[in-house]
Structure 1
């Protein structure tokens, strides 16, 4: 189904409304793509869950500053960002990304999670605290 736009959907997960971005959806490669996700989240989501596979490779190369810009946009709009999926290949490339992931996962705004079960567990924990 080449060329088909796959819609992202709103779901309640762990008691929190989450904009679930479809893995088959368009890549997140520009700040306009990020703003489009934020706009879609304003329909009631508190969290945007983006499959790691949808993020442009520049996101994982910290020298481009794309990750920082993306994360700052979500902070500015008071939305949580969950990057869901296997990023081990990117983590193996250098310690800076590992440090970013570690620090982000210690905080409450941006999370790097391996799967949806981890997202659900994190949301349940965040809702309690």
Structure 2
């Protein structure tokens, strides 16, 4: 059974378009927040610590898919239910279900990888095998 964490978001007026519904990129922002919250809830140290100790800069996004089912508006509290449903050697898939109460508002999938900075090309990253200790914390 997969571990599921819940990240809560209070929708504000500024999160909405002129029609009063959440502007769609905000769901991506909230899912990104939920991704980090998942790792923190599992006991993974902050990215800055991991970079200082092991060179791991984080888990950049490689692919995203989102399906919108219902609108949301300001004044509502949303819950992003996040789980890791697939681990590969260098990538993992995180799934997010955005809920308002029992209603599913949005579903999202993110493919991510653990990365370090490349020594041969400044400013570039490379993927690394998923660290066994981090895999154990998140399983």
TM-score in terms of structure 2 length: 0.25
Q: Which has the higher strand share?
A: 2
Q: Which has the higher helix share?
A: 1
Higher relative contact order (CA 8 A, sep 6+): 2
TM-score in terms of structure 1 length: 0.26
